[in-house]
Amino acid sequence: CMNNSFPASYAWGNFSVLAVGIWAIVQRDSLDAIVMFLTGLLLTVLTDIIHISVYYPLHSYLIDAKRFSMGMAIFSLLLKPGSCYFVYQMYRERGGE
């Protein structure tokens, strides 16, 4: 479904940030992991905006699979600022400035 709408860089970027997020959750005492996760989330917000704006298909070419894929990408983008807030709170709890 995603291969029809976005290039592979969209999936690689988001899945690599997910992997860093899992690492940040598992390593509770690591401040570097949470900083990398927060930085990755902020970068994927920017790249998601670029991907959605460049690869959003014209209305006449919008089939159901692409509509669903784009809807989930937009929904993910809308949830990321909240995720950044909670990750920043985790950063503060772990002793960040």
Mean pLDDT of 5-30: 90
Q: What is this structure's pTM?
A: 0.83
DSSP character at residue 41: H
Nearest to 20 by CA among 3, 37, 2, 35: 37
The C-alpha atoms of residue 66 and residue 10 are separated, in whole angstroms, by 14
Report the first-to-last Cα separation within the chain, whole angstroms: 41
At residue 28, the pLDDT reads 87
Share of the chain above pLDDT 70, in %: 95
Q: pLDDT tens across 53-88, in order?
A: 888 877 777 778 788 888 899 999 999 999 999 999
